[in-house]
C-alpha cells in the first residue's frame, strides 16, 4: 500500500503577482487623480491611495512569503490563515462543500469550536459566517497554488484514515 502524501498549498505567485500589479496600478491612479481640480476628487483619491497602498503592502508580504499556507496530513488540517496549530480530524464533526458567489469552500463544523479560535480576520468573521449557514471554519484555495477539488480530495483521503 502506498503511503498517503501530505497535501500542501502555498501562495500562488502568478495570482498574487497580478493582484500586486493591480494594487500598484490603482495606487498610481489615485495619486494622479489627487492632482485634479475638484476638492471632492482630491479627498476621495487620497483615501483611495491610502487604501490601495495598504493593500499593496499586504499583497507584497504574501507574494514573498514562501511558507506552506495549508497542509492536510495525519495531524489534521493546518491553515495558516486561520491559526498556527492544526485542527485534528477528531475535532471535526462534519465537512461539507459550500459556495457563495462562485467562491467554493470546504466548510468544517467543529465539535468544540471554542478550542480552535481563528487568530486572523477570518477568525473574527467566523461567527458571522456560521450564522449565515457556513461552518465554523471555511477553507478556501483563493490565492493558493492548488485547486479546490485537490484540497477536498486530500481532506477525504486523510479523513478516511482517521474515522474510527
Q: What is the pLDDT of residues 66-121, one digit of tens each?
A: 899 999 999 999 999 899 899 999 999 999 999 888 899 999 999 999 999 888 77
Q: In this predicted structure, what is the pLDDT of residue 94?
A: 93
Three cell numbers, residue 30: 489615485
Is this model's pTM higher than 0.85 or not? no
Each residue's pLDDT tens digit, 23-45: 999 999 999 999 988 999 999 99
Let me know: does 101 contact 137? Beta carbons within 8 Å: no
Question: What totals of helices (H) and strands (E) does the chain contain, helices first?
Answer: 4, 6
Amino acid at each position: 500500500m502506498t503511503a498517503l502524501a501530505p497535501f500542501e498549498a502555498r501562495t500562488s505567485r502568478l495570482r498574487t503577482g497580478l493582484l500586486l500589479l493591480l494594487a500598484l496600478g490603482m495606487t498610481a491612479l489615485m495619486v494622479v487623480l489627487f492632482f485634479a481640480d475638484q476638492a471632492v476628487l482630491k479627498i476621495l483619491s487620497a483615501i483611495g491611495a491610502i487604501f490601495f497602498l495598504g493593500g499593496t503592502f499586504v499583497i507584497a508580504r504574501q507574494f514573498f512569503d514562501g511558507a506552506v499556507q495549508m497542509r492536510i496530513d495525519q495531524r489534521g488540517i493546518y491553515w495558516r490563515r486561520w491559526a498556527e496549530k492544526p485542527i485534528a480530524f477528531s475535532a471535526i464533526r462534519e465537512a461539507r462543500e459550500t459556495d457563495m458567489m462562485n467562491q467554493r469552500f470546504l466548510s468544517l463544523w467543529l465539535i468544540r469550536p471554542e478550542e480552535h479560535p481563528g487568530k486572523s480576520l477570518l477568525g473574527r468573521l467566523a461567527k458571522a459566517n456560521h450564522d449565515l449557514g457556513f461552518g465554523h471554519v471555511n477553507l478556501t484555495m483563493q490565492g493558493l497554488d492548488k485547486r479546490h477539488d485537490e484540497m477536498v480530495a486530500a481532506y477525504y483521503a486523510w479523513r478516511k484514515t482517521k474515522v474510527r
